[in-house]
Every structure is written in structure tokens, then in C-alpha cells.
């Protein structure tokens, strides 16, 4: 079994693969002060709840946009499993990740994993919209190369800023309000935040298509993909597990390159 972990600024997604099949998945809060010992105490009960022991895990791969947590997770996994996890980045992805970036090392691990999975599953060209703490767009051109993208404040980040600076406005659930014209304060806020994000993404994608000179499939992923994907006119597929799938492919590609399984 393969243990794949995607560490984001808000949530950490943990997946267990058996071959190419995602058997189990959990989302936990990314607590930036967690030590490796605390992470061990979090992950061990999750594994055991599904009857998975450390001896069942034969590989591990890790992506992190939080350096301190990435280091803590690496130490925790080495202690639990007895071997070091593969750390996802442009170099580790090898031939699976072609890019025109002058400095590929600056590309976030989650962006690398998204691009690898999107090209494998949906072909090229393809655009990924990752709805997380940031809303990221990853652009893979017709030649299968990651050529860049867009990084913008995420839905929850924008909402939190509004709540913090407009003290009379309540915190709300980020769901489809069903109509653009708000008939209450909560409804009006949901319309502005949720529909505003959907239209912003559609605007980004339209600009991307204009610069490419052609259109492409658009895949939504991330924690809010199930909410936002159906609201975006340009999104053609929703795949919340895309980043984990990319991590699996990066690990699998590295194993093949080393002559492993």
C-alpha cells in the first residue's frame, strides 16, 4: 500500500492507495505547530481505524506547501514506517512533469502533483483549478508542458477577510445560495462570495484560453471543488482527489525509474 499526504495551509489530505485504487482518505486540519510526535499520534489511529498497520505500507509520498509541517511529517513517517517518504517536487516528478519555467524548483508541490495527474487523466491541453486556501490555476499546453498559471486568494481566505473587516457581517456557510439577488444578509453574502468566486474563475479561464489561442478541458479540485465546480461555466470535470492521484503517479514514476515496483 502507498501512503500519500498532501499538506495544505488549511487542510492536510491523507490517502491510502492499493495499486491505483484509493482505498481510504481523510482530511485533517493543518496545525502548523504540530511536532512529528503529535503527527504520529494523529495518523496512527486513522490507519488503524481501517485495519492498516505500518507493516502494510510499502511506500509513502509527501507534498507540502508548509515547510515546517513538511519537515515534521517527513520525520513522523520515517519513524512510523522505517523509511523516508518521497518528497514531491518538479525534480522528483521527472519526465512526468515537463515545464517551460526558468526555475522549476519554485513551483509548489501541489501544483506539480495537480499537473501530473491532470495530464495523465485528461490529456493535454488541460487547465486545473485548485480550490484551496489559494485558488490556483495550472495550465498545461497542447504539448503537455506546464507553462504556468494563476495564484489568487481562495474562497475561504476572501470570506475570512470580509468577516474580519466588516464586523457587523456574520460568518456564513459557503454554499450555493440558489439565486444571485440576496433576500437576506446571509443570502447576499453567499451570492457575493460564492458566485463572485465562480465568475472570477471563469474570467481567469477565459483569459487563459485567449492567451493559449485554444480551449481545453478544465478540472476542478481541492476541498471546495464539489461546491464550486458546478457553479463555474468553464469547468468540465470535478476531481477532488486529483492532487493525491498526482502524488501516486510521482511515486510510481520514481519507483519505475529506480527499477522498483
Identify the segments of the chain with pLDDT beneath 70: 165, 167-171, 255-261
At residue 167, the pLDDT reads 64
Instruction: Show Cβ contacts of residue 6 under 8 Å, excluding neighbours closer than 6 positions.
Output: 12, 13, 15, 63, 110, 113, 243, 244, 247
Q: Which three cell numbers stand for residue 193?
A: 462570495
At residue 163, the pLDDT reads 73
Identify the H or E element spanning 221. strand 218-221
The alpha-helical segments, DSSP class H, found in the chain are 36-49, 67-81, 90-93, 109-122, 155-165, 185-190, 196-212, 225-228, 242-257
At residue 259, the pLDDT reads 59
Torsion of CA 250, 69, 15, 108, to 10 degrees: -40
What average pLDDT is seen over the chain? 92
At residue 155, the pLDDT reads 85
pTM higher than the cut 0.85: yes
Residue 181's φ and ψ, nearest 5 degrees, are -85, 110
Residue 110 designated active-site: yes
At residue 261, the pLDDT reads 43
Task: Give me the catalytic one of 110, 114, 130, 141.
Answer: 110
Amino acid at each position: 500500500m502507498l501512503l500519500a499526504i498532501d499538506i495544505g495551509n488549511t487542510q492536510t489530505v491523507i490517502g491510502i492507495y492499493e495499486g491505483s485504487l484509493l482505498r481510504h482518505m481523510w482530511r485533517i486540519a493543518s496545525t502548523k505547530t504540530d511536532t512529528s510526535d503529535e503527527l504520529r499520534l494523529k495518523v496512527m489511529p486513522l490507519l488503524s481505524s481501517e485495519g492498516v498497520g505500518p507493516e502494510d505500507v510499502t511506500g509513502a509520498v509527501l507534498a507540502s506547501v508548509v515547510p515546517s509541517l513538511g519537515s515534521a511529517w517527513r520525520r513522523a513517517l520515517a519513524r512510523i514506517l522505517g523509511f523516508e517518504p518521497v518528497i514531491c517536487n518538479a525534480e522528483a516528478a521527472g519526465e512526468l512533469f515537463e515545464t517551460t519555467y526558468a526555475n522549476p524548483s519554485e513551483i509548489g508541490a501541489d501544483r506539480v502533483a495537480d499537473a501530473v495527474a491532470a495530464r495523465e487523466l485528461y490529456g493535454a491541453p488541460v487547465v486545473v483549478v485548485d480550490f484551496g486556501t489559494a485558488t490556483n490555476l495550472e495550465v498545461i499546453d497542447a504539448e503537455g508542458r506546464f507553462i504556468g498559471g494563476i495564484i489568487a486568494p481562495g474562497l475561504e481566505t476572501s470570506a475570512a477577510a470580509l468577516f474580519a473587516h466588516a464586523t457587523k457581517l456574520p460568518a456564513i456557510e459557503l454554499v450555493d445560495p440558489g439565486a444571485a439577488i440576496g433576500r437576506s444578509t446571509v443570502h447576499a453574502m453567499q451570492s457575493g462570495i460564492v458566485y463572485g468566486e465562480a465568475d472570477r474563475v471563469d474570467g481567469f479561464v477565459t483569459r487563459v484560453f485567449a492567451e493559449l489561442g485554444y480551449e481545453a478541458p478544465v478540472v476542478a479540485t481541492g476541498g471546495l471543488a464539489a461546491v464550486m465546480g458546478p457553479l463555474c461555466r468553464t469547468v468540465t470535470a470535478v476531481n477532488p482527489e486529483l492532487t493525491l492521484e498526482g502524488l501516486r503517479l510521482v511515486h510510481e514514476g520514481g519507483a519505475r525509474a529506480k527499477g522498483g515496483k
